[in-house]
Amino acid sequence: MFAAAIAILVGCVGTTGPPSSVALPDPTCGGIKIKIEGALPCDRIVQIAIEALGERAPEQLARGVAAIEVFLTTCPRGEVPPQIDCGSEQFAQLVTITFKAAPPGGPIEPSLTVAVAPVSGAILGISNPLIL
């Protein structure tokens, strides 16, 4: 069911995203175990993250996705440089999308992490591991 929902979603991203035939792996969902009233399910958090990357980093998604890991944690603060703006959020769902091999001359990031607010689904930022 998850793969079908993502396939439909990816098809809706448009020509800037990967073709709708691109299969995405099932996510691994983990992190701290607390009850957050009204929290979105893991599959919806992943959809939100894929949509964000489809809008902001379509060339990354076009490489293909090797793995998706969702991790609930306290919202990161004090990053240098700041990539995630937690605002008043105490927790964040960190969705790490690991990409397949980069084409020659293409984007080189091995992954990007989209921070999503657990209840509202707001994008809190996208973290690039190559920016230190």
First and final C-alpha spacing in the chain: 37
What pLDDT, on the 0 to 100 scale, is given for residue 82? 86
What pLDDT, on the 0 to 100 scale, is given for residue 131? 76
Please give the distance of CA 82 from its chain centroid, rounded to a whole number: 17
Q: How far apart are the C-alpha atoms of 129 and 13, rounded to whole Å?
A: 24
Domain ranges of the chain: 2-127
What pLDDT, on the 0 to 100 scale, is given for residue 22? 58
The secondary structure of residue 84, as a DSSP letter, is B
- Split the chain (132 residues) into runs of 10 and give each run's mean pLDDT: 40 41 83 91 96 94 95 88 92 96 89 97 93 67
What pLDDT, on the 0 to 100 scale, is given for residue 5? 37
What pLDDT, on the 0 to 100 scale, is given for residue 117? 98
What pLDDT, on the 0 to 100 scale, is given for residue 77? 84
Global pTM?
A: 0.81
